[in-house]
């Protein structure tokens, strides 16, 4: 079932698109924004809402690089593997990143479900190669140290948020 917010987000996309079904990629993006990825169930729900068949919608979902049809972690790391970053030795950083995250290759998610690492085509930041994005944030001129700092900061930020949200933490604050 799509939530009220998801329906509203899809409808908003329909308004600014040249036609209702033109909002299909937008609808996929909107639902992905709230659920992280597009499951078969989400796909059917969106298809029904847009009056399309799930198969038709899946042909669109699978075409676009940034629509995920399998689960991803809470943060997606997109490491640029295109030519300028390759010249600037992104492969060296890849190995470091894999060790840091404790995973063995692109496409994998860390055990705690925090990060998924994916390759990306040129991020349009070649003057700051090697570059990567974490979710919608861009990081350039990467070194092993800066990668460590970035990952650690995400871990701290998320850790804080989770402690803050847990009933235990609230309880403690009230005392």
Partner 1 sequence: MIDSPLTHAMKPTKEALAIDEYEDAGGYAALRTAVTEMTPFDVTAAVTDSNLRGRGGAGFPTGKKWSFVPPPGKRTGAAYLVVNADEMEPGTFKDRLLLEQNPHLVLEGALAAAFAIQAQTVYVFVRWAYAKAAQRLTKAIIEAQRRGYIGDNVLGSKFCVRVHVHTSHGRYLCGEETGLLNALEGKRASPRSKPPFPQVVGLLGRPTVVNNVETLCNIPPILRNGAAWFKALSKTGDSGTKLYGASGRVNAPGLWELPMGTTPREIIEKHAGGMKSGYNLRGFLPGGASTDFLTDRHLDVPMDFDAMQKAGSRLGTGTMIVLDDRTCPVAMVHNLVTFFARESCGWCTPCRDGLPWTQNILADIEQGRGRPEDLDRLELHCKLLGPGRTFCALAPGAVEPLQSALKYFREDFERHITEKRCPYKH
Q: Choose which of 11, 17, 39, 82 interacts with ligand FES (CB under 6 A).
A: 82
Contact (Cβ atoms closer than 8 angstroms) between residue 103 and residue 118: no
Distances (CA, A) of 6 to 31, 35, 38, 57, 171: 6, 10, 13, 17, 32
Could you tell me the sign of the dihedral formed by the alpha carbons of 69, 71, 77, 83, in that order?
A: negative
Read off φ and ψ for residue 103, nearest 5 degrees. Answer: -125, 170
Q: Which is nearer to ligand FES, 45 or 81 (CB)?
A: 81
Asked if 133 is part of the footprint of ligand FES (rule: CB under 6 A), the reply reads: no
What b-and-e string marks burial along 111-123, b requiring 16 or more CB atoms within 10 Å of the CB?
eeebbbbbbbeeb
Q: Can you tell me the distance from the alpha carbon of 112 to that of 102, in angstroms, rounded to the nearest whole number? A: 10
| Binds ligand FES by CB under 6 A, chosen from 83, 156, 164, 169 | 83
Residue from 24, 50, 101, 129 in contact with ligand FES (CB under 6 A): 129
Q: Which of residues 126-165 bind partner 1 (CB under 8 A)?
A: 126-129, 133, 136, 138
By CB under 8 A, residue 92 contacts partner 1: no
Shortest Å, Cβ 126 to ligand FES: 3
Q: From residue 52 to residue 71, what is the string marking binding to partner 1 with x (rule CB under 8 A)?
A: -------xx--xxxxx----
Which residues make up the interface to partner 1 (CB under 8 A)?
16-19, 21-26, 28-29, 59-60, 63-67, 81-84, 86-88, 120-129, 133, 136, 138
């Amino acid at each position: 079932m799509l939530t009220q917010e998801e329906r509203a987000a899809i409808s908003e996309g329909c308004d600014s698109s040249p036609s209702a079904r033109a909002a299909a990629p937008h609808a996929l993006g909107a639902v992905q924004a709230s659920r992280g990825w597009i499951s078969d169930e989400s796909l059917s729900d969106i298809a029904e809402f847009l009056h399309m068949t799930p198969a038709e919608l899946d042909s669109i979902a699978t075409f676009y690089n940034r629509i995920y049809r399998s689960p991803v972690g809470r943060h997606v790391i997109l490491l640029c593997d295109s030519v300028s970053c390759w010249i600037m030795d992104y492969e060296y950083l890849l190995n470091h990143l894999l060790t840091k995250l404790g995973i063995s290759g692109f496409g994998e998610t860390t055990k705690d479900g925090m990060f998924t690492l994916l390759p990306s085509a040129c991020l349009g930041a070649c003057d700051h190669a090697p570059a990567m994005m974490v979710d919608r944030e861009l990081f350039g001129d990467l070194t092993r140290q800066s990668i460590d700092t970035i990952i650690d900061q995400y871990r701290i930020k998320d850790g804080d948020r989770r402690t803050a949200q847990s009933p235990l933490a609230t309880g403690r604050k009230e005392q």
